[in-house]
Structure 1
Amino acid sequence: MRFVKVIGILTLISLMSACTFFGGEKEEEPDIPEQQLYSEALEALDAGSYSLAVEKLQLLEARYPFGRFSEQAQLELIFAYFKNYEPEAARAAADRFIRLHPNHENIDYAYYLKGLTSFEEDRSLIARFFPIDESKRDPGAALESFESFSTLVNRYPESRYAPDALKRMQYLKNRLAQYEVHVANYYMKRGAWVAAANRGRYVVENLQETPAVPTALAIMADAYTELGMSEQADKAKQVLQTNFPDFEYTTSREREKSLLETATFGLLGGDDDEVPAPPAE
């Protein structure tokens, strides 16, 4: 019995030695100085190698969570995720930065980039190259973008990013108003007059100063007429004629096409929109 135990021990030792000899043990990665790792991440960003930049910045956070460059690296990581077309990761990184550093001097940039991430996601890659009416798609990302930009503008009105955020907010209001009008037209075609009137009223009451308002009023007038609510219909027509005397009520398809052309403010262009890099430390 003792002989069998000895043989077993010798066999186990031999197997362990063999694993070591053939590289079974993983070699530890050498430590990279924080300064070097951060510099490599910046070089990757400058070169447009965003996936590599993400890798370097993640490694920097993991190895030096309380280092000299930790806060700046977190901002850079939001930017890298955004440029690498990882919207969920970018928003999560922005939320994390905002939660951890509520009083940071560059927190406005985190809000701005979070809003911009959802803004670009709402546009979608296909819509950039094909004539797709974005007002017919779910506005979830547009709502998220508007909320982030609104927070930025209200809390940090003097931010360097506020003017651009305001411009994009106006576009988003137009986008959301278009969506409501599109849904209202859908209800009109199916005889759901109450639902159509409610959608039109929502635009008039909550999304004023958008190109969709006169169309929303016209839908309200038509829907109330169908419902036999002549007083409400006449009121909607009066408001429409008083405030938009040149408005011509046309088919729903023609209205939606006209809205899309007047509401974009040139923000549905190509890929050459410049996004500011994170503020320097």
Structure 2
Amino acid sequence: MPLTFAKKAAGSAALAAVLVSLSASPGLCAWYDSLDPSQWFAEKYKPEVQPDIPADKLYSDGLANLEDRNFEIATQKFEDLDKRYPSTDWSRKAILMTAYANYEGQKYDDAINASKRYLQRHPATKDAAYAQYLMAMSQYKQIPDVTRDQDRSEKALIALTELVQKYPTSEYAADAKAKIQITRDQLAGKEMEVGRFYLERRNFPAAINRFRDVVSKYQTTRHAEEALERLAEAYMALGITSEAQTAAAVLGHNYPDSQWYKDAYALLQNGGLQPREEKSSWLSKIYRGVIGRTAAAE
């Protein structure tokens, strides 16, 4: 027991000596003081007070940067305006201008997101048609060439169609209609490319499905003539002569001066056949419907 007490006393004396040494050293004292938790974040996390910038000043700054084609800075100004003045008319303007600045800066996905946000918050305002137009054009600008996936074309067609349906009297409707036709032509072109691929490899059923999509969905595009002729080719190769004759007859009825009709006619003649429409054919039904709808529209 006395020995244990002596050891404890010696340890206490050594600890006291260390503390005295620390207190006598200025540098070590400073290090020790820095362990005070109240001092750890004093300088790192000072409260930051944002200046109160008037809404019209932020908006004007955004417009000025737009004019100077500083689209990224302009976007930042409009986004800041939306955050500082939520649920105000300034916020509404800011969201729309954010979409426009991103569109002009070719940040099309950001423009789409801002346009959607505007339409969700302000669907009944006079600028809703313009927001829809910006969204549709942002999709349209990203349409790839016909050899690639056409997901963007599908989305552009949906957005453009919604614009025409929801805002038929808007100043953007005419342009949207023209671009709908271009987009449909693009989608038909993709179907034709895949159909030719199958036709060259003698996969006639797969080719027919692609050409059938063209004449079913995109009859008013420039690809319809070729699709009808390719259908005649594929059906002849499969020995389904009645459908081949119908394809040629429909082609001749709708495009009598087409080179594609001349090719289809020659193909049938080589097989001892003539163009002849089978009224029960799916092709005949489709084009009778198209002719009827066109006449009604006129």
Cα-Cα RMSD: 2.8
Measured in 2, the distance between the counterparts of 1:163 and 1:28 equals: 49
Match of 2:8?
Answer: none
Q: Which runs of 5+ in 1 are unaligned?
A: 124-133, 252-281
Residue 97 of structure 1 pairs with residue 108 of structure 2: no
Residue 205 of structure 1 pairs with residue 216 of structure 2: yes
Residue identity (%): 30
After superposition, the Cα gap between the structure-2 partners of 1:18 and 1:81, relative to the gap in structure 1 and judged at 3 Å, is closer
Which amino acid in the other structure matches residue 79 of structure 2? Q
After superposition, the Cα gap between the structure-2 partners of 1:237 and 1:18, relative to the gap in structure 1 and judged at 3 Å, is closer
Kindly tell me the number of residue pairs found equivalent between the two proteins: 239
After superposition, the Cα gap between the structure-2 partners of 1:100 and 1:223, relative to the gap in structure 1 and judged at 3 Å, is same
Match of 2:66?
Answer: 45
Match of 2:292?
Answer: none
Superposed displacement of residue 197, structure 1:
0.9
Measured in 1, the distance between the counterparts of 2:184 and 2:76 equals: 36
1:109–1:161 Cα contact (<8 Å) kept: yes
Which amino acid in the other structure matches residue 39 of structure 2? M
Report 1 or 2 for greater relative contact order, CA contacts < 8 Å, sequence distance ≥ 6: 1
**Greater Cα offset, 8-17 or 37-46:** 8-17
Match of 2:75?
Answer: 54
Correspondence list, 1:131-210, <5 A: 134-210=145-221
TM-score (norm 2): 0.73
Measured in 2, the distance between the counterparts of 1:153 and 1:29 equals: 44
Superposed displacement of residue 143, structure 1:
1.1
Measured in 2, the distance between the counterparts of 1:243 and 1:65 equals: 57
Measured in 1, the distance between the counterparts of 2:88 and 2:162 equals: 29
**1:48 alignment partner, SS class:** coil
Measured in 2, the distance between the counterparts of 1:116 and 1:18 equals: 49
Measured in 1, the distance between the counterparts of 2:86 and 2:58 equals: 13
2:199–2:234 Cα contact (<8 Å) kept: yes
Superposed displacement of residue 26, structure 1:
6.9
Measured in 1, the distance between the counterparts of 2:61 and 2:115 equals: 22
Query: Is the radius of gyration larger for structure 1 or structure 2?
Result: 2
Residue among 79, 95, 103 paired with 1:74: 95
2:34–2:40 Cα contact (<8 Å) kept: no
